[in-house]
A and B are shown apart, each in its own frame.
Chain A
Amino acid sequence: MAESHNSNQFRSGLKVMIDSDPCVMIDVEFVKPGKGQAFTRVKYRNLNTGRVNEKTFKSGETLEGADVVDTMMQYLYKDGEFWNFMDPNSYEQYQAGEGAMGDAAKWLKEEAECSVTLYNNAIIQVTPPMFVELKVVETEPGIRGDTAGTGGKTASLETGAVVRVPLFVNEGDVLKLDTRTAEYVGRVKE
């Protein structure tokens, strides 16, 4: 049984069960009129669906902690509708469906290390590394001399992601990308 948390222990980052789903609090505000009942306003992300919601709790309400664990795993391969991961310590393998993968799917190359969230020993969320290096498989030919990176075009990457890149980028180039913003960071020298 997970421990339960009183409203005065609510803080961002706390993982709790809300409406039978594991959720993580992302913003917590104590609301207390000078005269009157105190409340705690909580903005939270549902770890199953990724959706962000808001709820106001009367002071003294409790929530059961969510039994979730964040751990590093290695991405192995995609197999039909599942992405397969391995715990590098136990060599145990886990599968993630499309919901748990979310945006992470388009950034992961086989053997990539990433953070996964386990709930009841199943993957509910996959977080890609902050920065990844991926090869361009398709883009308009590069314009020589345009090294200032003004303007831009789109490029398809080996994992399927499509990103904005500077005009000088060519097919076959390896790019460093920020997965949080899907932004081009630079070219990686081969």
Chain B
Amino acid sequence: MSSKPEWRPSASNDALRLRAQILARIRSFFDARGVIEVETPALGHATVTDPFIHSIRAGEGFLQTSPEFAMKRLVASGSGPIFQICKAFRAEESGARHNPEFTMLEWYRPGLDHHDLMDEVELLLTEVVGADAGERHSYEAVFRQHVGANPHRADAAQLAQRGRDLGLVVEARSGLSREDWLNLLMARVIEPHLGQRGPTFIFDYPVNLAALARIRPGNPPVAERFEVYFRGTELANGYHELTDAREQRERFDRDNEIRRELGYDEVVPDERLLSALEEGMPATAGVALGVDRLVMIAATARSLGDVLSFPYDRA
């Protein structure tokens, strides 16, 4: 934490200029490609069911944790390719790489799949921050390489054993699920190795980490999801989107089951999104990218506070 008086911004003027430059370059990148900029509400009636994303209530509604549902409704209504740069809000997220209010770049590309979209993310990072060429690895490949386990088959006990062998000491009285272990091993063991030069793309996730990605049948079946890691930081998360309304409803219900088990409040599913999917959303790839983290990486800063005018403790 900086020792500057609290009324002062924690970011330098250079960092603020760099942010403005990055935002301008993002807009011209999409302008040149015919992707139109949209705005959707920051305050909505519904919110995400994801058990590990905590929404901030505001009056009768919720501050949006991402513009995902509203943007999918635009795509379902025939908008074509769209992007948005907006604020997103998540309670209980605070640290060197987290701030409860952050700037998100999210875009949707009807007709593309997650591999096509990875190409576009890589191009954007090259044009906007001069990133080197990226690398691509399947989730299974990095897991086998760094953890020595098959992420599609290993159970919680086997993953816990690998964690212990790798020196991870974990305290969790309520226990860790298989999904918790996969996420923890990714964050603590694999992530520090990723994207040291150019961005690293990890794709084809275990089905229980599908989030809102479509599942490709096979042996094993995989979720058509990808994440982008750059200089050891998780920068973006994308999907070949789930467009099936019934399966979407089942995932909302499953999230609420997990919420009940964890003792969290249940979340009423976004019926307007479900109606849009029922009406029919074209096959689409979409991705969300943390703009503050991108500025942090471009500035070679160590903390988001170095590139935010006023992080939450000064807000």
Contact = CB atoms under 8 A, between A and B. Distances in A.
Contacts of A59: 92
| Centre residue among A32, A38, A54 by max chain B CB count within 10 A | A32
A32 B171 contact: no
Nearest to B183: A36
Contacts of B170: 39, 55-58
Interface of A: 8, 29-39, 41, 53-61
B171 A57 contact: yes
A43 B182 CA distance: 22
B95 A61 contact: no
A56 B184 contact: yes
A98 to B, nearest CB: 27
A58 B171 contact: yes
A33 B205 CA distance: 14
Nearest to A60: B174
B241 interface: no
B105 to A, nearest CB: 14
B114 to A, nearest CB: 15
Interface residues of B, number: 33
Given A30-B95, A30-B96, A56-B184, A35 B168 contact: no
A69 B46 CA distance: 49
A46 B50 CA distance: 37
Given A31-B188, A57-B171, A37 B96 contact: no
Nearest to B290: A34
A89 B97 CA distance: 45
A53 B209 CA distance: 31
Contacts of B187: 31-33, 39
A56 to B, nearest CB: 5
B52 A56 contact: no
A54 to B, nearest CB: 7
A94 B189 CA distance: 45
A13 B103 CA distance: 31
Nearest to A55: B169
A54 B166 CA distance: 13
A53 B50 CA distance: 33
16 contacts: A8-B92, A29-B95, A29-B96, A30-B93, A30-B95, A31-B187, A32-B98, A32-B187, A33-B234, A34-B237, A36-B52, A36-B179, A56-B170, A56-B184, A58-B180, A61-B173
A54 B169 CA distance: 7
A146 B211 CA distance: 71
Interface in B53-99: 53, 92-98
B169 A37 contact: no
Given A8-B92, A56-B184, A56-B188, A35 B209 contact: yes
A38 B177 CA distance: 13
Nearest to B172: A58
A36 B169 contact: no
A83 B241 CA distance: 68
Given A58-B172, A58-B176, A58-B180, 13 more contacts: A30-B95, A30-B96, A32-B98, A33-B183, A34-B237, A36-B180, A36-B183, A39-B170, A53-B169, A55-B169, A55-B171, A56-B171, A61-B172
B22 interface: no
Contacts of B171: 55-58, 61
B186 interface: yes
A37 B184 contact: yes
Contacts of A57: 170-172
Interface string B198-221: 000000000001010000000000
A165 B46 CA distance: 70
A8 B312 CA distance: 15
B227 interface: yes
A181 B35 CA distance: 58
A37 B182 CA distance: 10
Nearest to B171: A57
A60 B176 CA distance: 13
B163 to A, nearest CB: 9
Nearest to B210: A35
Given A30-B96, A34-B227, A36-B209, A56 B169 contact: yes
